[in-house]
Structure 1
Amino acid sequence: MATAPAAEAVAPTKGGGKKKLFIIIGAVLALVLVGGGAAVMLLKKKAPAEGEEESAETEEVAPKAKAKPKSDQPPTFVPLDPFTVNLADKDVDRFAQIGVTLQVDDPKFADQLKAYMPAIRSNILMVLSHKTAIELLTREGKEKLAKDIMREAVRPMGIELEDEEEEPPADAPKKKKKKKVAVESPISEVLFSNFIVQ
């Protein structure tokens, strides 16, 4: 007789265990369905918002430069012969010897660069000859030189990049600038292979 009540006590817990299992599975399925529905609603709301941003960008006069997607091909490097130039220092005669390599993403454009090489070298020499040793010895000066070289290297091919000028003084009269359409440079980077200032 003592075993009968123990068997009866075990039987109701087994039936309740299955019931709890079904409740837990049902709750998990409900959470998955609610989460999936919320994700679908959020994605539907984001798609028109992105379309609105694109239409706003097309209305601007000067759109911002967009990042180029990475291509599967490695970049092409166009090394230039080293430049030796007298610097614009007034107190002392100083010179610089600078090795420049241009990085381009399109190998066809690298061939075009080689065709215009005399004009490109001339433009870069003009930029270098107007720099002082103090300008070239700082990191900021080297970065500005790289931007100047990038701008001058594509100029012989009829590509005009914007010149980043410094802000005018606060008391200077402000000039209205016409907004230009931003042009992407086919040269992705200017690299220095050697940089000696004496």
Structure 2
Amino acid sequence: MSGINATFTRYRAVAVIILGLIAVLALSLFVYLQPGVKKELLPVTQTVDGLPAENDLPPVYFPLDPFTVSLQPEDGDYGAMLYVGLTLRLRDEKTRELVESQLPELRNHLILLLSQQSLASLTSAADKQALLKKIKRELNQQHPNGQPSFVTDVFFNSFIVR
């Protein structure tokens, strides 16, 4: 009898820890499987406009080939260039097909927009965020009237000013 008590006393701490872990795992599994909780636990991503992105559909990303544009001269300083690569987050796969069909026009609008920028207007992080908003607005103005915006967000892949 004393051998059983000694063994039980010896492993009591281990048994309490194991039972505690089982209880925590069971409780977390119960909470996770509750209806309606899963969506609330998902992180909400922000767009460049500060609005939450929609979590209903998986995002569709459309990377654009990087390109180089000449920037507006400042104080007689010529030759400033911007090398930029962008990725667009689109509404759905149908929108991806629309963007692919209009890609030459969209790239033209992007080049015109970016070539209007000056070196001083691209220095801070806030300036770059404002540029992302301009790009998103410009691209969404190119879709047919009456349809919702097709570009939900814009991301820089590369951004080099020389």
TM over 0.5, shorter chain: yes
Which whole-Å CA distance do the structure 1 matches of 2:148 and 2:133 have between them? 13
Give the structure-1-normalised TM-score.
0.51
Which of 61, 70, 77 is matched with 1:77 structurally? 61
Which whole-Å CA distance do the structure 2 matches of 1:158 and 1:133 have between them? 33
What is aligned with 1:113? 99
Query: Matched residue of 1:146: which SS?
Result: helix
Alignment CA distance shift 1:159-1:84 (3 Å): farther
Alignment CA distance shift 1:184-1:137 (3 Å): farther
The alignment covers a number of residue pairs equal to 110
Query: Matched residue of 2:99: which SS?
Result: helix
Equivalent position amino acid for 2:80 in 1: R
Which whole-Å CA distance do the structure 1 matches of 2:111 and 2:53 have between them? 29
What is aligned with 1:104? 90
Equivalent position amino acid for 1:74 in 2: P
Flag the structure with larger Rg. Answer: 1
What is the root-mean-square deviation in Å for CA atoms of aligned residues? 2.1
Q: Does 1:188 align with 2:147?
A: no
Structure 1 segment 2-21 matched on structure 2, within 5 A? none
Equivalent position amino acid for 2:70 in 1: N
Query: Matched residue of 1:103: which SS?
Result: strand
Equivalent position amino acid for 1:87 in 2: L
Query: Matched residue of 2:55: which SS?
Result: coil
Equivalent position amino acid for 2:67 in 1: F
Which whole-Å CA distance do the structure 1 matches of 2:135 and 2:150 have between them? 13
Flag structure 2 segments of 5+ consecutive residues without an equivalent.
Answer: 1-50
What is aligned with 1:149? 135
Equivalent position amino acid for 1:193 in 2: N
State the identity as a percent.
Answer: 29
Equivalent position amino acid for 2:81 in 1: F
Alignment CA distance shift 1:133-1:192 (3 Å): same
Query: Matched residue of 1:156: which SS?
Result: coil
Which whole-Å CA distance do the structure 2 matches of 1:67 and 1:99 have between them? 24
Which whole-Å CA distance do the structure 2 matches of 1:143 and 1:137 have between them? 11
Which whole-Å CA distance do the structure 1 matches of 2:149 and 2:143 have between them? 11
Which of 85, 100, 112 is matched with 1:126 structurally? 112
Query: Matched residue of 2:141: which SS?
Result: helix
Give the C-alpha shift of residue 158 in structure 1: 2.7
Alignment CA distance shift 1:185-1:67 (3 Å): farther
Equivalent position amino acid for 1:185 in 2: S
